[in-house]
Chain A
Amino acid sequence: MRSEATRDAYGRVLAELGKENPNIVVLDADLSVSTKTCIFAKAFPDRFFDMGIAEQDMIGTAAGLAAAGKIAFASTFAVFATGRAWDQIRMSVAYTRLNVKIAATHAGITTGEDGASHQANEDIAIMRALPNMTVVVPADALETEKVIRAAVAHYGPMYIRLSRPKVPVVTEGINYDFKIGQGAVLRDGRDATVIACGLMVGKALEAAALLERTGLSVRVVDLHTIKPLDQELIVRCAEETGAIVTAEEHSILGGLGGAVAETLVENAVVPMLRVGLHDVFGESGTPDELLAKYDLTPESIAAAVTAVVKRKK
């Protein structure tokens, strides 16, 4: 299976879209080589604005460009985009419902060696709390292409969470309709459902394969859109499989796991466990070392599934 980082797919597709749509403008905060907006910058220098190390100003400028009719993509690392500029996103993008796409890379613990200061593990929670904001976390490079194209076609504020390392293109060869706001069942199963986003979708598919050998039939849902949440699908999975595990490269507080838990407790109470970071900061290390150390592995997901299935009546 081929591998590609979601940030690489973003940079590549953004430059393609720049050719198709002269209304697209791109902003970055001195990280264009890492976020891959440098590809767009090289192709369309007039429509690229490097704002320097000034994330708050970048978001405000993007809002102004959008207010004047542009489709503005603003990129930097997820921790700076959402943390440093949260009030600017709230005030100038979400409240105004402007057409700004915050495409943030280096989300999650797999930012790796840079350590905790650079690892956004809270970004889904704080973006999802904003009215008018759409929150999307593509599973792999192929899905990222679909997300970026859909983002251009969709009017309004959007947070797109991308990551640094190469990850297997797990959705390749799986036939599903990609639509913002609609989760995708990538593998069907009867005994439990793993609902995942981002690179944890691939881990969830691996976990399902591991569990198949132990006799458990596990459904895997790629919930790429955290907001608006596909509540109908979540409830259906709870009713049909009777147990839910969420898996995200993010804090278990307020992100995918939080969103799914809110839906289940109000609509269909079934045994549930959340795989994710347990209210801790990360640390330096390679992405794979950190995923293993913080239990973001197929084995951790499989263990959680085994545990929730035991709790089923």
Chain B
Amino acid sequence: MNVTDLAARANKLRQHIIQMTCAASSGHPGGSLSAADIIAVLYFHQLNHRPQEPNWPERDRFVMSKGHAAPVLYAALAETGYFPVDYLKTLRRVDSALQGHIDMLSVPGIEMSTGSLGQGLSTANGMALAARLDRKSWRVYCLLGDGECQEGQVWEAAMTAAHYKLDNLTAIVDHNKFQIDGCLEDIKDPRPFADKWRAFGWNVLTCNGHDFKALISALDKAGKTKGKPSVIIADTIKGKGVSFMEANPLDYHGKAPSAEEEKRALGELCRLPGPGQ
């Protein structure tokens, strides 16, 4: 898929994020929007998967460790055909499979339940170890939040992946600079990321997390790296694509847009389909 098509897909994911969280009157639009381009590249370009056969044994595995960004993952799963797009509007409703934080048992295509932060990378490591034991060529991808890197388990898992030389694993940090209580440097700065991950034995790549070519190139380099796991520090903007959310990221970490805000956001997104705008 070319960059223009990916941009259109990512834009569609953003529209879903706005509509879903508005309909649910709750959810996490900010960190979903920051990850939308990364998720678009993974689901429409990178991952070897079969939406009509979610349990296909040879599929690549994606673990969304930042489980609160559920809306962007649900949007990608619906747009790739795991379930009807119309179902997205049931987000967070009682009896819906679309739980507030992702649940692998209720939604096809989800590899691991998350929500309590810091746990996804360990599970991704386990999958990568299993692939190696079974001599399988599928890869494992794991998306983490930048604030999530304050969790100690992330660094336990970072040690594990490097110790076991998991070169069939690519982690991506959605570096959107904000967490619920404020910006990273004001709360407890987990950076510098590149130095830390490198010191933990990882191949570190950095790129603009809204630049499709850069993301694809980083994923390619990660895939070709042997003997160590790779992490892509993706520089992103919280609330990306919606001007008033970008301007006030703290207001939209865990708060849904109102009906009026939804209208404004969709107006902007429908007008501006391209990347980096």
Chain A positions within 8 Å of B, measured between CB atoms, are 25, 46-47, 49, 51-52, 54, 56-70, 72, 87-88, 90-92, 95-97
Chain A residues lying within 8 Å of B123, measured Cβ to Cβ, are: 60-61, 63-64, 67, 92
Check A65 against B127 for contact (C-beta < 8 Å).
yes
Contact of B130 among A51, A70, A91 (CB under 8 A): A70
Say whether B251 faces chain A, with CB atoms less than 8 Å apart. Answer: no
Q: How far is the CA of A308 from the CA of B164 in the complex (A)?
A: 57
Check A63 against B112 for contact (C-beta < 8 Å).
yes
Q: How far is the CA of A51 from the CA of B126 in the complex (A)?
A: 11
The B interface, classified by DSSP as helix, strand, loop or mixed, is helix
Q: How far is the CA of A91 from the CA of B63 in the complex (A)?
A: 14
Say whether B208 faces chain A, with CB atoms less than 8 Å apart. Answer: no
Given A61-B126, A62-B126, A52 and B159 touching (CB < 8 A)?
Answer: yes
Chain B residues lying within 8 Å of A62, measured Cβ to Cβ, are: 126
Say whether B156 faces chain A, with CB atoms less than 8 Å apart. Answer: yes
Check B113 against A47 for contact (C-beta < 8 Å).
no
Say whether B131 faces chain A, with CB atoms less than 8 Å apart. Answer: yes
Say whether B4 faces chain A, with CB atoms less than 8 Å apart. Answer: no
* B31-39, B103-111, B198-206: which lies at the interface: B103-111
Check B127 against A57 for contact (C-beta < 8 Å).
no
Q: Which of A60, A64, A95 is the most central at the interface, judged by chain B CB atoms within 10 Å of its CB?
A: A64
Q: Beta-carbon contacts of B114-142 to A below 8 Å, as 1s and 0s?
A: 11101111111111111101100000000
Residue of A nearest to B132 (CB): A46
Check A91 against B114 for contact (C-beta < 8 Å).
yes
Check A60 against B126 for contact (C-beta < 8 Å).
yes
Say whether B90 faces chain A, with CB atoms less than 8 Å apart. Answer: no
Chain B residues lying within 8 Å of A72, measured Cβ to Cβ, are: 126
Given A92-B112, A95-B103, A54 and B159 touching (CB < 8 A)?
Answer: yes
Check A67 against B103 for contact (C-beta < 8 Å).
no
Given A60-B126, A61-B122, A91-B115, A97 and B105 touching (CB < 8 A)?
Answer: yes
Chain B residues lying within 8 Å of A58, measured Cβ to Cβ, are: 122
Contact of A54 among B113, B129, B131, B156 (CB under 8 A): B156
The 8 closest A-B CB pairs, nearest first, are: A64-B126, A60-B122, A68-B130, A57-B156, A64-B123, A54-B156, A65-B126, A61-B126
